Amino acid sequence: MTPRMGNVNTLIIDDNAHMISIIRSMLLGFGISRTHESRDAVEAFEMVRHEPIDLIIVDYQMPLLDGLEFIQMVRRGADMKNPFVPIILLTAHTERSRIMAARDAGVTEICAKPVTARQMWEKIVAVVNNPRPFVKTANYLGPDRRRKREEYNGPERRSVTTEKPSDNANPADAEMVDDNDQDAIDKLMA
């Protein structure tokens, strides 16, 4: 089922004006014409507090306030109009640790740069047609991070490990996701 996008009020946040233009063009192609734009996440946060925004598309790395900090403010801000707004994060930094940090901040979906129109469309359709339930705990407010519905595997399914990370860990050994592999990012988000 194709969602109707004409009334989706979208906010694009990226410090790169060219990237904003690319995303705006994609959205227009999808029938989304109601867009707000900001090159500054601090300014964008004020927009989100006062405007009825239905979808946010935000870049990960920006000066002053980065995408993760922005997401956390939207999700946890005391005076937010809609802390449940779907947020799609754009990133060229696809290290596993960054993807997991974005997930834990409360992002709804992630698109790897360079972003294709197909990837963007699939993410928008996913948040519109299949919104995930939100979870609120003392430390987290955001979409349910569990995408896989695995069967219960015994009494210690959620047991805590006592292993500690190695003090001799080499950053060069960090697990990387191919910059152009949206499927790998989707698997990490699962």
Spatial distance between the Cα atoms of 187 and 82, rounded to a whole number of angstroms: 28
Helices (H), ranges, 51-139: 67-76, 96-105, 117-129
pLDDT of res. 91:
96
Report pLDDT digits (tens) over 65-74: 999 999 999 9
Query: Which sign does the torsion angle of CA 152, 158, 163, 164 carry?
Result: positive
pLDDT of res. 152:
57
Sorted by where each starts, the structural domains of the chain and their CATH numbers stand as 10-146+179-189 (3.40.50.2300)
Amino acid at 76: R
Q: Which of the pair, 147 or 50, is modelled with greater confidence?
A: 50
DSSP state at residue 94: -
Name the region of 154 (left: φ>0; alpha: ψ -120 to 50; beta: rest). Answer: left
DSSP state at residue 65: S
* Dihedral (Cα; 172, 168, 104, 180), 10-degree rounding: 10
pLDDT of res. 181:
64
Question: Is the per-residue pLDDT at 161 higher than 50?
Answer: no
Return the minimum-mean-pLDDT range out of 5-19, 107-121, 130-144.
130-144
Question: Is the per-residue pLDDT at 102 higher than 80?
Answer: yes
Contact between 53 and 10 (Cβ < 8 Å) = yes
Question: Is the per-residue pLDDT at 160 higher than 80?
Answer: no
Contact between 88 and 154 (Cβ < 8 Å) = no
pLDDT of res. 77:
86
Contact between 28 and 121 (Cβ < 8 Å) = no
- pLDDT confidence of 166, banded at 50, 70, 90? very low
Structure tokens at 127: 């948040």
- pLDDT confidence of 80, banded at 50, 70, 90? confident
Residue range 103-121: mean pLDDT, rounded: 95
Question: Is the per-residue pLDDT at 81 higher than 50?
Answer: yes
CB count within 10 Å of CB 183 equals 11
Q: What is the DSSP string of 130-174?
A: SPPPEEE-SS-EEE-S--S-PPP-STTTTPPP-----TT--GGGS
